[in-house]
Structure 1
Amino acid sequence: MASGSRVTILPQSKEALLKSYNARLKEDVRSMLENFEETLKLARRDSHSQISRTTQSEQDALEMQIRASNMVRAGESLMKLVADLKQYLILNDFHSVNEAITNNSQLFRSTQIECDKKLMKLRDEMAMDLYDLEEEYYTSIFK
């Protein structure tokens, strides 16, 4: 199975949570759309009613304010949903977290091995230099 097309079976609680997120999304988008359509209808409407033109205008203005408030509420709800989804992903994406930990561990192990090799080489060079210095000291006529 390719890593890009992995199929995951979610526990019941996660599945229910994701379904509730989906329901919230659909409800908020539906609310925004309905309120926007109704606002447009109010803007286009000719007043052929029994009430006075001023009263109708005030009533339409109030309804437009209410519908605008409903659209703002739905937009804020959608932004909260996005924040909730981000938080859910961060807190529950164990696969990515484990992958990052594994990659870091491998990187640190390879760095450790490289440092160990360099230290061994340095130790060997220092041992040879020390041996040469001791040899020079003990065979010197100036001791």
Structure 2
Amino acid sequence: MSHGKIPQSKEQLLKSYTASLKQDVRAMLENFEEIVKLAKGESDTQLSKMTQSEQDTYEMHVRAANIVCAGESLLKLVSDIKQYLILNDFPSVNEAITQNSKLFRTKQAECDQKLMSLRDDMAADLYDLEEEYYTSIYKH
């Protein structure tokens, strides 16, 4: 299934991620189901109970380790996807830059407006102070 806009390498990468996800989740589920079966203790074998118990315990440890490995693989997959998105999601990066640029221009305009208003207020106050000083009887 070919998507016109998606480059072939990107499509293959997405298929690889999907396959890895399915494989890891399947491995976790299958190993968990087998551990539950072992915990039920329904196996009919010719081994002694002690030997069977040791074998079941060992198999549970191996299956638990398999679940951990599948979980670590999923974490690595998430990390790879995040890294891929960070490095290759140029439209989002450009959009974020544009939004920040607009935000900073707006802030700059607000600051300029406030500075102009402050300048005007200070000029008016200075004019009033100068007039008061020059018309004062305390001027020497």
CA shift, 1:21, in A, is 0.7
Determine the structure 2 residue equivalent to 1:141: none
TM-score if structure 2 supplies the norm length? 0.73
Is 1:55 equivalent to 2:51 in the alignment?
yes
Q: What is the 5 A alignment of 1:64-83?
A: 64-83=60-79
Q: Which amino acid aligns with 2:99?
A: N
- Separation in 2, partners of 1:70, 1:34: 10
- Separation in 1, partners of 2:79, 2:39: 34
How has the CA–CA distance of structure 1 residues 102 and 53 changed in structure 2, closer, same or farther, with 3 Å as cutoff? same
Determine the structure 1 residue equivalent to 2:82: 86
Q: Which amino acid aligns with 1:102?
A: T
SS of alignment partner, residue 5 of structure 2: coil
Q: What is the 5 A alignment of 1:121-132?
A: 122=119
Determine the structure 2 residue equivalent to 1:101: 97
CA shift, 1:106, in A, is 2.0
TM-score if structure 1 supplies the norm length? 0.71
Percent identity of paired positions between Structure 1 and Structure 2:
64
- CA RMSD in angstroms comes to 3.2
SS of alignment partner, residue 88 of structure 1: helix
Q: Which amino acid aligns with 2:46?
A: Q
CA shift, 1:112, in A, is 4.1
Structure 1 unmatched ranges of 5 or more = 1-6, 134-143
Residue in structure 2 matching 1:37, options 33, 55, 58 = 33
How has the CA–CA distance of structure 1 residues 52 and 103 changed in structure 2, closer, same or farther, with 3 Å as cutoff? same
Are the counterparts in 2 of residues 47 and 53 from structure 1 also a CA contact under 8 Å? Answer: no
Q: Which amino acid aligns with 1:28?
A: D
- Separation in 2, partners of 1:120, 1:45: 83
Structure 2 unmatched ranges of 5 or more = 131-140
Q: Which amino acid aligns with 1:74?
A: A
How has the CA–CA distance of structure 1 residues 98 and 57 changed in structure 2, closer, same or farther, with 3 Å as cutoff? same
- Separation in 2, partners of 1:67, 1:15: 33
